[in-house]
A and B are shown apart, each in its own frame.
Chain A
Amino acid sequence: MTDILKTEGLSRYFGAVVAAEDINVTITDGEIVGVIGSNGAGKTTFINMVTGYLPPSSGVINFDGQRIGRLGPRKLMRRGLARSFQIPQLFLELSVLDNLTIALSAAEGRQLNMIRPVRTPERISAADAILEQMNIIQYRDEMVTAMPQGARKLLDIAIAMLGDPKMLLLDEPTSGVSTDEKYTLMDTVMEVVRRRGLTVLFVEHDMEIVQRYVTRVLAFASGVVIKDGAVDEVLADGQVQELVTGKRHQPQTEQGDV
C-alpha cells in the first residue's frame, strides 16, 4: 500500500487570516476519504494547495512519492492528480460532446493538432461511453447552458476523471444538487471510482453522504484538522460534533433511539 498523498506542516495565511495551519495528512492508495468542516474551515484552501492552484505559505506536499511544491494544476494533472469543482467549471457555450472531446484530446498528452479534427470516431465513442456511464447522454449535443446543475456537476466530475488520474479530489460534489438527485449522482460517481480503483478525497457537507460512501474522515475547523480517522469514530467525537456536525452521531448499524 503506497502513500499517494502526504502533506507535512502544510499552512496557508492571508495576512492575519489563518486559512490552514499545520496540516499533516497521509492518504494511501485506494482510500476513499471524506473531508468535512463548516464554511471557512479550510477545506477548499487545502484542495487548492494540493492541486497547485494556491501556493502554500509553508509546508511540504508529496504526491506519489515526489515533492510537488511549486507545480501548477497543469503539470499536476499530467502526474495523475485531478480535481472537480464546487461550481462546475465547464465550457458553457460549447456542446457537451465538445467539452469531452477537448478534454479527451488534452488527456492524450500529445501536442495539440492544427489540422486533424478533434472529433475523431475514437474520441466520440469514448465520450459517448462516459456520458452513458454518468447517465447524461441525453445532453450530448446540447450546449452546457442547457444542462441542469446536477448534470453539470456530473460532467465536471467526468472530465476530472479523464486521463487516468491516480487520485481524484472532489470539491463538494453534491452541493447545489437537489436532495433526490444527490444519491444518484454519488452512486454513479462511486461506481466508476470503484471500477477503476481510484483514490478519492471529497469535501462534503451532507453527513449522510459521508457515512454512506467513505471509510475515513478528515474534520477541519478554523484551518486545522481536528480529527482524522474512521467514519464512526470521527462523527462520534465531541469536538467534531460541536464544531462541525452540530448533532449527535447515529452510527449506521444501531437501531432505535440513542
Chain B
Amino acid sequence: MLTIWAILIDGLIYASWLFLVAAGLTVIYGVMRILNMAHGSLYALGAYASASSIGWYYASGGDQLWIAFALLAGCAIVIGAIAGFIMERGILRLMYGRDEVLMLIVTFALLLILEDLMKLVWGTTPYFAYQPYAALGRFNFGVLTVSGYQIMVVGVSVVVGTILWFWLERTRTGKILRSIIHDREVSEAMGVNVRRMFTMTFVIGASLGAIAGGVTAPIISVVPGIGVEVIVVAFAVVVTGGLGSITGAAIGALIVGLARAASIHTMPELELFIIYAVMALVLIFRPNGLFGQATARKI
C-alpha cells in the first residue's frame, strides 16, 4: 500500500517535470512539424544559465531567496529565447520545405554544436545550485518525505500548462497558431505570416525547454550530457500524448511519469524499457498517440 502511494507521489512529481520538458517540444512540432532534437540542449542551457547565475549570486554574498528564484527563471528564459531565435533565424529557416527527417538531422547537428559550446563556456566540472532546493524544506506524508521544491515544480508545471492552454485556446495568436497546426498552406493562403509565427513558436518552445532546465538545476548537478538524456524521455511523452498536442503532452507526462515511478519502485533496471513499452502499447491502439492528428490521404 505504501508503495502505491510512493508511486503515485513520485509519479506526479516526475510527470510535472516531464510536462515542463515536453511542452516546448510538442508545441514546436505541432506548429512547425520539426522534432527538435536540440531541445535537450536548450534544457541544458537553461540549467547551466540558472545554476551559474544562482551560484554567482550566493558567492557574491546574496541571500534573498526571491532574487535567486528570479535569476533562475529570468536567466533561463532569456538564454532559451536568444538561443532559440538564433537557431531558427540562422539555420532552420534555410531548411524549410525539406523533408521532416532531414530537419531532424539538422536539429541533431545543432545538438552536437550546442553540447560542445556549453562545454567550452562552462567547462566540464559540475555546477551546483542547491540553495533554492534546500530553502524550501521537506514535508512528511506519513512515512514518505517530499521536498518542498518538488511540490513547487508541480505547481510551476500546472501554471505553465494553464498559461499555454489559455494562450492557445483563448487568445488570437493562439488561434492563429492552431490554424497553422491544422493546415499550414491554408493558413498562409489566408494571410497568416507563417514565417513570423514560426520564429515566435520556436522561441517560445526553446524558452520552455530552457525553463524546464532552469527549474531542474537546483535538484541535480549540472554537467555535460544532461540534455542528451532528457530528449529520449521527452520523445516518449510527446509520442504517447500525440505530437503537437499540449493536452497530449500533459496526459502523456502523467502516463509516463506513473509508469516510470512504478518501475523505479519495482524493477529499476527496466525504467526506460517500461516507459517505451507503455508508449508502444499506446501506439498499437492509437498509432498517432492519444491526441495526435492522423495524416491526410495522398491520392
Contacts and interface: CB of A to CB of B under 8 A. Distances in A.
A89 B298 CA distance: 10
B121 interface: no
Nearest to A89: B299
Contacts of B299: 48, 53, 85-87, 89
A79 to B, nearest CB: 20
A85 B299 CA distance: 8
Interface of B is mostly: loop
Contacts of A86: 299
Interface string A34-64: 0000000000000010000100000000000
Nearest to A83: B299
B102 to A, nearest CB: 15
Interface string B255-299: 000000000000000000000000000000000000000000001
Contacts of A89: 299
B294 to A, nearest CB: 13
Interface in A114-133: none
A89 B299 CA distance: 9
Nearest to B299: A85
Interface in A65-93: 85-87, 89
A126 B36 CA distance: 48
A84 B299 CA distance: 11
A235 B299 CA distance: 29
Interface string A86-112: 110100000000000000000000000
A107 B299 CA distance: 22
Nearest to A44: B299
A148 B11 CA distance: 60
A87 B299 CA distance: 8
Interface of B: 299
6 contacts: A48-B299, A53-B299, A85-B299, A86-B299, A87-B299, A89-B299
Q: Lowest 5 A-B CB distances belong to which pairs?
A: A85-B299, A89-B299, A53-B299, A87-B299, A48-B299
